[in-house]
Amino acid sequence: MEVLRPILQEERARARRVTCRRSQDGHHDTLKRRISDEAVIEELMQAWQPLCADCRLSIENLSLPRVTDVRDWRLRLKGELPKGGFSVQVDLIRENGALLPAWVNGRLVAKRRVPVAKRVLAPAERVQAQDFSWEYRDTSHAYDGIPTEEELVGKRMKQGARAGDILGGGQIEREKAIRRGDLVQVRSGAGAWEVSLGVIAQQDAFIGDVVNFKNPKTNSLLTGLVVGSGAVELK
């Protein structure tokens, strides 16, 4: 009996052991004795939190398959963050060894630090630093980007906002850096070899646009990259 005791102890420990592995097809394999809200949420958060490091994630309205004779289970997760409601396939291994495909449903709430209007902002009004504050809000369905403070302050509102509204990138008017007919400075080279020349813009342009300019002395056309308000780099 003393000889058998270590073997029995090892078998009992092996039966209680929970193993996690990644299958060759990239799916997360998670073997559990029972499927529960807590276990599923833990697996989902481990997979999704690294996809949005600056987010505060939480899961609401979780719904699990109603199957009682489950021995093990495995979530089939994709490498992307759901936007709001989600439906994740789960493979259930029944007590008799049969595989039963099912679904885990719920809603993912992703909160990010975003600018929030402190007062009513009218269309065409310029935003000042005191007009907004930074708060964590649900951005699960925000598609137009989160602007930085530098992208907000001094910029003109393209559409109005109410107090408490999130200020998205799509609400800020993209202002032109150069207008047709402006006299701008085009630069070529760098450091001691940099040459600057006054040219006339042939069209309106935003930062990042490549446009044509005319040299007023020679009437020749040049092509440049708009790098700032009234600033161009020769292409």
What is the rounded average pLDDT of the residues 201-205?
Answer: 85
pLDDT tens per residue, range 155-200: 889 889 999 999 988 888 877 778 888 888 777 766 556 677 788 8
Name the average pLDDT for the chain. Answer: 82
Model pLDDT, residue 23: 43
Higher pLDDT, 203 or 123: 123
Domain ranges of the chain: 9-110, 111-171, 183-234
Q: Which two tokens stand for residue 122?
A: 């009218």
The pLDDT-based confidence of 14 (bands split at 50, 70, 90) is very low
Name the fold adopted by 111-171.
Type Iii Antifreeze Protein Isoform Hplc 12 (3.90.1210)
Model pLDDT, residue 90: 96
Higher pLDDT, 65 or 9: 65
Class of 183-234 per CATH? mainly beta
pLDDT tens per residue, range 106-153: 999 999 999 999 999 999 999 999 999 999 999 877 666 888 898 899
Q: Are 45 and 62 in contact (CB under 8 A)?
A: no
In the chain, count H helices and then E strands.
3, 12
Lowest-confidence range among 18-22, 34-38, 145-149, 170-174?
18-22
pLDDT tens per residue, range 42-58: 999 999 999 999 999 99
The pLDDT-based confidence of 6 (bands split at 50, 70, 90) is very low
SS3 state of residue 197 = strand
Model pLDDT, residue 125: 92
Percent of the chain with pLDDT over 90: 40
SS3 percent helix, strand, coil of the chain, rounded to 5, is 15, 40, 40
Whether 37 has a pLDDT exceeding 80, the answer reads yes
pTM for the whole structure: 0.60
Same fold, 111-171 and 183-234: no
Whether 85 has a pLDDT exceeding 90, the answer reads yes
Sign of the CA dihedral with 58 first, then 64, 69, and 74 last: negative
Residue 42: which of 23, 59, 19 has the closest Cα?
59
